[in-house]
Structure 1
Amino acid sequence: MKNPFFYIVLILFSLAACNSAPDTKKLNSEAKQLTESVFVIFGPNQLPNPANRGFMNNPGFIITSDGVVVIDPGSSTTIGEMVASQIRKKTDKPVVAIIDTHVHGDHWLGNTGILNIFPGAQVYGHQDMINKAKAGAGEDWIKLMNGLTNGAIAGTKPHVPTKALKDGDVLKFGNTRIRIHHTGQAHTHGDLMVEVINEKVFFLGDIVLHNRIGRMVDGNFKGNIAAIDRALKSAATVYVPGHGQSGDKTIPLAYRTYLETVYKTVSSLYDNGMTDFEMKPAVDSKMGPFKNWHSYTEQLGNHISLCYLQVEQDAF
């Protein structure tokens, strides 16, 4: 039986996609170099639509002496192949590993595109993500993305990670060390944050978005804040969100402020006996600059309702 939230997501994405400006005229975006060895291909800050063909996340890659490690190769075989072509422009080393940060298909359905070109790569994810992907999450996301892009990802098949990662794991590729962080339910139950220790770069997955309001149907507000706090304790100087531009600690701090403002405001209104459907004007009045973030209008009411349920649960 499908998760009922899948259908909620489909409705929300469909409504928002109608307002997405199709300013991406071609898929082949250039990789931006963040440090000596770390590159990111920044996707458009949009929801999936026919113009962007489902490309909306921030695929990253790390060039090591043993080969290339890819983070979140995107939402389709075509996008994964685009990522592989960008890697080829920077190095002749093969891709040896793919790390998928969470189960949402806009981040990992591109595994097949990478593996078409680099079939020897090992694919990693959290065990919860692996379990959900095996249970049909990939097929659900393909249906969702095809519906929003007029079939742009047709032919994509899910390639589920085969190697599970947990909090505290350290992967070594030559002299490059990659630390894995998992703090419990945050954006999903199976989020991974990826710290490239030598380069002081921290890949946040969708635990943080920049200038964009993320979905929380699978998440937990307090858990997401706790995950951001973990990231902020690292020695990283560059933070890469799942969507939006990278930067210093102000990137995760801004998203933390948004989540905390929603949670504290909803909690206060709950204590005053207000129901969730009455709260939107009061919460909206606290949002300040966040009102200009992408998907704010579409997501705020949903966030209030989800947060209300979590506040109610925390009260018992």
Structure 2
Amino acid sequence: MIRTAIFAACFAMPAFASEDIADKYPQSVLYDKPIEVIPNVWSAIGATAPPTYENAGHNNNLSFLVTGDGVVVINGGANYKLAQALHAEIKQVTDQPVKLVINENGQGHAMLGNSYWLAQGVDILAHVDAVHEFEEREAQILAGMQRYARENSEGTELVRPTMTFEDTHVIDMGDMHIEVLYLGPAHGAGDTQVWLPDLSMMIAGDIAFNGRMTPIFTDTCTSCWIETWETGFAPLNPTYIIPGHGYPTNLAQVTHHTMGYLKDLRTKIGAHLDNGGTLDDAYYVDQSNWEFLDTFNELATKNAGTVFAEMEFE
């Protein structure tokens, strides 16, 4: 019953796009309490908003797998206190120890909580490109988190993953066969997917968004992202998806909210370029059909300019 309600909720989200989204779990530094999406696959769903003091940086999904012989955590969290809070929730679910943490990319909300997990003696796995991105920007990432999180940043130190992989890392633990995948360039460097083929469950990371507009970085290759989706991600045809941001859902929903948006924006920017349009005017291409996505107000204009710069010399 609970899981049915979870999947139904993702199609009935309120149509507003603002970072002013109330905390759902005020007694914890977590934005929301973990839910069991399917048996033994849990996720604490983050705010569909930018990182703020109110959400302590919990604006992505922090997931964990209860395998029968240990727990695998997906995402270190945005700071030490978020990782600690997630661990407290895991202990309420199972007495199995956490044996591995997987960082889904090199961003702060995936890696800054690593200091907590390493202190517990837990190995941390990430793609080599994600580690390189974190190494290049770690001081900046930490400083940014400290500004918005304030006292919630206490205890956080820069800790890089202890293990890396390049293409696929397979884990057989307890009752679960887990495939940690790098399918190709997507939202950011080293974007990682955790695939549970026996359960048809994909913990997608930032290749997939639901109910929230994706930020497009200056080093994001949107054409590469689309190709990775169409040649690597979609053919796996998962029944269940926990996206990097937004509620658990299905392939059709994240295809619409992620690929639909990227393809539509590229089409409009392409037409703008064909008509001799400038960067100044590109910011105002019509994206009103995506206004229902959270963070539309914060990201739509920026995304248009970034895609213009990307496509101008394609």
Q: What is the TM-score normalised by the length of structure 2?
A: 0.86
- How much has 1:292 moved relative to structure 2? 2.1
CA distance change for structure 1 residues 48 and 249 in 2, over 3 Å: closer, same or farther?
same
1:11 maps to which residue? none
CA distance change for structure 1 residues 54 and 189 in 2, over 3 Å: closer, same or farther?
closer
- Structure 1 residues 94-133: Cα deviation after superposition (integer angstroms, max 9, x where no partner): 11111101111012212222333x31x2211011111232
Residue identity in the other structure for 1:193: Q
- How much has 1:22 moved relative to structure 2? 4.2
Q: Which moved more, 1:257-266 or 1:19-28?
A: 19-28
- How much has 1:223 moved relative to structure 2? 1.9
Matched, 1:57 2:44: no
- Structure 1 residues 189-235: Cα deviation after superposition (integer angstroms, max 9, x where no partner): 21111112222111111222211112221312112222333222114
Q: What is the TM-score normalised by the length of structure 1?
A: 0.86
Count of residues in Structure 1 that have an aligned counterpart in Structure 2: 292
Q: Output aligned runs, 1:9-158, within 5 Å.
A: 19-24=19-24, 25-26=26-27, 27-28=29-30, 29-116=32-119, 118-119=120-121, 121-135=122-136, 137-158=137-158
- How much has 1:87 moved relative to structure 2? 1.1
- How much has 1:283 moved relative to structure 2? 3.0
Q: Which moved more, 1:213-222 or 1:236-245?
A: 213-222
1:232 maps to which residue? 234
- How much has 1:236 moved relative to structure 2? 1.6
1:223 maps to which residue? 224
- How much has 1:293 moved relative to structure 2? 1.4
| Structure 1 residues without counterparts, runs of 5 or longer | 1-17
Question: 1-side partners of 2:138 and 2:173: how far apart?
Answer: 28
Q: CA RMSD in A?
A: 2.1
CA distance change for structure 1 residues 39 and 19 in 2, over 3 Å: closer, same or farther?
closer
- Structure 1 residues 139-198: Cα deviation after superposition (integer angstroms, max 9, x where no partner): 221211121233421330122112112223322223422223323321112111111222
- How much has 1:19 moved relative to structure 2? 4.9
Identity fraction in percent? 22
Question: 2-side partners of 1:283 and 1:266: how far apart?
Answer: 10
Question: 1-side partners of 2:189 and 2:89: how far apart?
Answer: 31
Matched, 1:312 2:294: no
SS of 2:168 mapped into structure 1: coil
Question: 2-side partners of 1:23 and 1:171: how far apart?
Answer: 34
| Structure 2 residues without counterparts, runs of 5 or longer | 1-17
Which has a greater percent of strand?
A: 2
* Structure with greater contact order relative to length (CA < 8 Å, sep ≥ 6): 2
